């Protein structure tokens, strides 16, 4: 375990988190929606929609970045999760890709703390237990694959990752996967 690296789950409204980047579970238009997307746009203000218009959409499994505007977070990473169609339509691979592509934006933007909502598990219908397994395994593997670089203090070595859960049930699911003290 790297002492400057944490991986944790907490229950919160993601728009309140004072981290470098929050991840938005957006839809492919990137022009706003319900759930966490709506909450982020309301809290960030109308400039976020203007910035999203310049991005010309985003495919499932991909991620694009904007400023955070009125949010405490400096950046919003917009990713599009898969719609759950029973699990045999590439959903786990697309969900995995959402986490990887989002994390890959950390180093070029000097992001040292990032919070993810439970992507796809709201209106897109992905069962939270299965989605959380993908989320935790993918983030752990990414952190291992992006090891310490003492010459790059802003690099992902020092990335703090939070799984931001919106319900007690979701929090319990993530905590059971992370273990009680949740070291990375």
Q: Say how far residue 104 (Cα) sits from the centre of its chain.
A: 11
Total residues contacting ligand ADP (rule CB under 6 A)?
20
164 makes contact with ligand ADP (CB under 6 A): yes
Select 66 or 79, whichever has its Cβ closest to ligand ADP: 79
19 makes contact with ligand ADP (CB under 6 A): no
Q: For the chain, how many residues are written? A: 184
* C-alpha angle 157-178-41 in degrees, rounded to nearest 5: 70
Tell me if residue 83 falls in helix, strand or coil: coil
Interatomic CA distance for residues 92 and 90, integer angstroms = 6
Q: Which stretch binds ligand ADP (CB under 6 A): 50-58, 59-67, 105-113, 117-125?
A: 117-125
17 makes contact with ligand ADP (CB under 6 A): no
57 makes contact with ligand ADP (CB under 6 A): no
Select 4 or 13, whichever has its Cβ closest to ligand ADP: 13
Burial label for 37, CB within 10 Å (0-12, 13-18, 19+), is buried
* Near ligand ADP by CB under 6 A: residue from 7, 20, 30, 37: 37
169 makes contact with ligand ADP (CB under 6 A): no
39 makes contact with ligand ADP (CB under 6 A): yes
68 makes contact with ligand ADP (CB under 6 A): no
Write the DSSP symbol of residue 19.
Answer: S
58 makes contact with ligand ADP (CB under 6 A): no
Residue 57 makes CB contacts below 8 A (sequence gap 6+) with 28, 29, 30
Q: How many CB atoms lie within 10 A of CB 34?
A: 10
Select 101 or 107, whichever has its Cβ closest to ligand ADP: 101
Binding residues for ligand ADP (CB under 6 A): 13-15, 25, 35-37, 39, 81, 117-124, 164, 166, 170
């Amino acid at each position: 375990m790297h002492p400057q690296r944490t991986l944790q789950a907490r229950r919160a409204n993601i728009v309140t988190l004072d981290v470098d980047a929050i991840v938005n579970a957006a839809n492919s238009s990137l022009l706003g929606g319900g759930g966490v997307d709506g909450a982020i746009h309301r809290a960030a203000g109308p400039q976020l929609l203007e910035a999203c218009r310049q991005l010309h959409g985003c495919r499932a499994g991909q991620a694009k970045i904007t400023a955070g505007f009125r949010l405490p977070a400096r950046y919003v990473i917009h990713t599009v999760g898969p719609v759950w169609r029973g699990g045999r339509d590439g959903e786990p691979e697309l969900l995995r890709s959402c986490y990887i592509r989002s994390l890959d934006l950390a180093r070029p933007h000097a992001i040292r703390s990032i919070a993810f909502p439970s992507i796809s598990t709201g209106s897109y219908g992905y069962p939270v237990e299965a989605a959380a397994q993908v989320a935790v395994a993918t983030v752990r593997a990414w952190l291992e694959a992006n090891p310490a670089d003492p010459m790059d203090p802003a690099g992902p070595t020092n990335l703090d990752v939070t799984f931001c859960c919106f319900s007690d049930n979701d929090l319990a699911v993530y905590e059971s996967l992370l273990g009680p003290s949740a070291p990375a």
